[in-house]
């Protein structure tokens, strides 16, 4: 004798299917998000390493072809060659570090990163803040825009 299968009510079946589908579709998205997060951080680490080595060409290659850069200390520039010219530093005492303070994905293939920067001549480095917009081009994340400024005054 074959045991009878007990059928679940239709609403319960639908609920279970929704839960199962939700779990199955969430897991790959989360894994992709972690990979993109790591890739964005790796791009900014490569950018910071090139900056520390005073390699403006390598820095510019971290930008999109039409990427732009603006600092509170200099003019707005757009395009890799202009970014390369703007970021050229030859003084061997120059230092640069970048620490990501916040990273968020505002749309598919678009990340906004807030960073704390320390830059200047050795022993006289000054804190700055940076906001970087990165876009995904193929499997690569590149800087589409960078804005560098002095940090706001400390609150009393």
* Domains within the chain, CATH numbers bracketed: 10-149 (3.10.450.50)
pLDDT 10s digits, 66-110: 999 999 888 999 999 999 999 999 999 999 999 999 999 999 999
pLDDT 10s digits, 33-49: 899 999 999 999 999 99
d(Cα 132, Cα 110) in Å, to the nearest integer?
10
Residue with tokens 């074959």: 2
Share of the chain above pLDDT 70, in %: 79
pTM as predicted: 0.78
What is the per-residue pLDDT for 155? Answer: 85
d(Cα 148, Cα 76) in Å, to the nearest integer?
11
d(Cα 58, Cα 46) in Å, to the nearest integer?
9
Return the number of other C-beta atoms located less than 10 Å from residue 132's C-beta.
Answer: 26
């Amino acid at each position: 004798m074959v045991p009878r299968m007990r059928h679940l009510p239709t609403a319960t079946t639908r609920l279970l299917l929704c839960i199962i589908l939700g779990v199955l579709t969430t897991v790959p998205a989360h894994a992709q998000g972690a990979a993109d997060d790591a890739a964005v951080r790796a791009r900014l680490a490569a950018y910071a390493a090139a900056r520390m080595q005073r390699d403006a060409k390598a820095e510019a290659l971290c930008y999109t072809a039409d990427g732009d850069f603006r600092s509170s200390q200099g003019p707005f520039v757009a395009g890799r060659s202009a970014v390369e010219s703007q970021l050229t530093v030859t003084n061997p005492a120059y230092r640069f570090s970048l620490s990501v303070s916040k990273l968020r994905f505002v749309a598919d293939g678009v990340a906004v990163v807030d960073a704390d920067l320390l830059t200047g001549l050795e022993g006289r480095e000054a804190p700055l803040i940076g906001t970087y917009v990165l876009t995904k081009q193929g499997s690569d994340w590149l800087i589409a825009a960078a804005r560098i400024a002095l940090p706001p005054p400390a609150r009393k």
